[in-house]
Structure 1
Amino acid sequence: MPISIEEVTYLYQLNTPFERTALRDVNVSIPSGALVAFLGHTGSGKSTLVQHLNGLLRPTKGRVVVDDIEVRAITKRRDKKESLLPLRRRVGLVFQYPEHQLFEETVERDVMFGPRNFGATEAEAKERAHAALRLVGLDESLWTRSPFDLSGGQMRRVAIAGVLASRPDVLVVDEPTAGLDPLGRRDMLSLFKRLKHELDLTLILVSHDMDDVLTYAERVVVMERGAVAFDGDPFDLFRDEALVTSLQLDVPNVLRMAQAFEPTFGTIPPALRTEAELADWIALHLRKEGSL
């Protein structure tokens, strides 16, 4: 499902002494099935922008078009919240620390909430909840338990299942690995990548972790002071050290390591995304040289 962000400007606390511009004339097009990462330092506008994709925020100026659904600024008091329900069913948003949104008595009931809110019958909601819980890999023995009795990682999977149960076409995940250890981070991002392919989703990832972005993203959009500062291939971004520095980003560890090894091993292929891939390349190089 294609997404078009056209000339979007957004002001917080409009027409007050505290008015502040969060987005200014943003233009981004995202084709169906893409995996795009939004980057930027704190306050750059990336989280504000993605909240426009399912109508949590509406532009002060400009418009967002998701497939055939258009979101513009509210111009009349009678603009109805209900008119955004079709958009919110098709665009699922997973917040940072999504487990903080859990509230029902059981895991099953919590995941059923979304489908019921969008008009599914009790039986349909239960069927969708069960399918979503299986997708995120939560054991069936936990479904009748309170979500607050689960581990942090399990709670996060319940919250993600709650979004998936509404069967969105687009999944927006805002800092999905916040608070997780390295293994938990890898498992969570691998889960989203698997879900993207299994469900044919458009996946939009908001992250501050450059290693995660390089490993998983096909394209990056960097926000700076509410505007788009870069939109393109992650390797093109991270190879430009001056640009990375000016945007207050970090170079991914694998690229730093590759640069450090080049005096010893010569030019290292530029398309290595992970430290494991770099280690494999070095091992292969040493075998060819007869050092292993």
Structure 2
Amino acid sequence: MPIRIEEVTYQYQMNTPFERTALRDVNVTIPSGALVAFLGHTGSGKSTLVQHMNGLLRPTDGRVVVDDITVTPIRTRRDKKQNLLPLRRRVGLVFQYPEHQLFEETVERDVMFGPRNFGATDAEAKERAHEALRLVGLDETLWDRSPFDLSGGQMRRVAIAGVLASRPDVLIVDEPTAGLDPIGRRDMLALFKRLREELNLTLILVSHDMDDVLAYAERVIVMERGQVAFDGDPFELFQDEALVRRLQLDIPHVLRFARDMAPVLGETAIPLVRTESELADWVAERLKGGAT
């Protein structure tokens, strides 16, 4: 299910002294099945932009086209009444710290809320909730417990299951590893990668973590002052250190180490490695070649 952002401008608190333009004439197309990361420093517009993709925000100007659904600015009372529930079912949005959105008495009931809200019967909602809870790997013995009795990582999985239970075609995750330790961060990203492959989802990742982006994203879109400042391959971005500095980003640790190690190992080019494991294999291979 493709997403097209066409000349989208968005202003907060229009016609007040606090009016602020968050997006300016943004054009982005995301094809079905893509894995795209949105980057940018705080206030760059990345979170505002992705909230347009499921109708949480509507553009001041321009339009958002998601498959056969078009979201346009609110000009008249009729525009305000546009039914966006079909869009929000198909485009799931997982906020930063999604566990803060939990509210039901049990895990099962919390995950059932989304399907019920979109018109599923109780039986259908329960079936979809069970399916989603299995997808995120939450043990069945926990389904009847209060979500607030679970660990932080388990609570986050419950919240993600709540979005998946509506069976979206697109999954947007905003800072999904915030507050997690290194093992929790690795497990969470591995979960999203697996979900994308098993469910054939379009996955949109909003992140400040350059190492996560390098390891998982196929395409990077960098926002700056409400506009697209870069759109392309992650390696293309991170190999341009001047551009990275201008955009107030960081070089991923794995590439920084590879850059420092390359001359020591007699290499003139920085290896295109995404993970610490790939970097270790590259170093071992060079050391082995030097020994022979």
CA contact (8 A) 1:91 1:169 kept: yes
Aligned partner letter, 1:140: E
The aligned length equals 291
Alignment partner of 1:37 is 2:37: yes
1:258 match:
258
Q: Deviations over 1:103-154 (max 9, x none)?
A: 0000000000000111111111000000000000000000000000000000
CA contact (8 A) 2:10 2:61 kept: yes
Written as runs of structure 1 = structure 2, the 5 A alignment for 1:141-152 is: 141-152=141-152
Alignment partner of 1:191 is 2:191: yes
Q: Deviations over 1:235-284 (max 9, x none)?
A: 00000011000000000001100111012111456320012211111112
Q: Deviations over 1:59-81 (max 9, x none)?
A: 00000000110001112224355
Q: Deviations over 1:13-34 (max 9, x none)?
A: 0011110000000000000000
SS at match of 2:172: strand
2:140 match:
140
Written as runs of structure 1 = structure 2, the 5 A alignment for 1:142-291 is: 142-265=142-265, 266-267=267-268, 270-290=271-291
Counterparts of 1:251 and 1:92, CA distance in 2: 30
Pairwise CA distance, 1:288:
2.5
Aligned partner letter, 2:195: L
CA contact (8 A) 1:24 1:227 kept: yes
Aligned partner letter, 1:174: D
SS at match of 1:24: strand
Counterparts of 2:218 and 2:37, CA distance in 1: 8
CA contact (8 A) 1:136 1:160 kept: yes
Q: Deviations over 1:196-245 (max 9, x none)?
A: 00000000000000000000000000000000000000000000011000
Aligned partner letter, 2:192: F
Identify which range, 24-33 or 78-87, moves more after superposition: 78-87
Alignment partner of 1:19 is 2:19: yes
Counterparts of 1:47 and 1:186, CA distance in 2: 22
CA contact (8 A) 1:64 1:72 kept: yes
CA contact (8 A) 2:74 2:80 kept: no
Aligned partner letter, 2:229: A
Q: Deviations over 1:139-185 (max 9, x none)?
A: 00000000000000000000000000000000000000000011111
Query: Identity, % of aligned pairs?
Result: 82
Counterparts of 2:81 and 2:2, CA distance in 1: 23
Q: Deviations over 1:40-93 (max 9, x none)?
A: 000000000000000000000000000110001112224355610000000000
Counterparts of 2:202 and 2:50, CA distance in 1: 13
Pairwise CA distance, 1:289:
2.5
SS at match of 1:160: helix
Counterparts of 1:81 and 1:109, CA distance in 2: 29
Instruction: Give ranges in structure 1 of 5+ residues lacking alignment.
Output: none
Identify which range, 264-273 or 143-152, moves more after superposition: 264-273
Pairwise CA distance, 1:290:
2.5
CA contact (8 A) 2:259 2:270 kept: no
CA contact (8 A) 1:258 1:268 kept: no
Identify which range, 196-205 or 259-268, moves more after superposition: 259-268
Counterparts of 2:270 and 2:250, CA distance in 1: 20
Alignment partner of 1:105 is 2:105: yes
Counterparts of 1:33 and 1:269, CA distance in 2: 30
Counterparts of 2:80 and 2:118, CA distance in 1: 15
SS at match of 2:93: strand
Counterparts of 2:204 and 2:23, CA distance in 1: 18
Counterparts of 1:122 and 1:200, CA distance in 2: 26
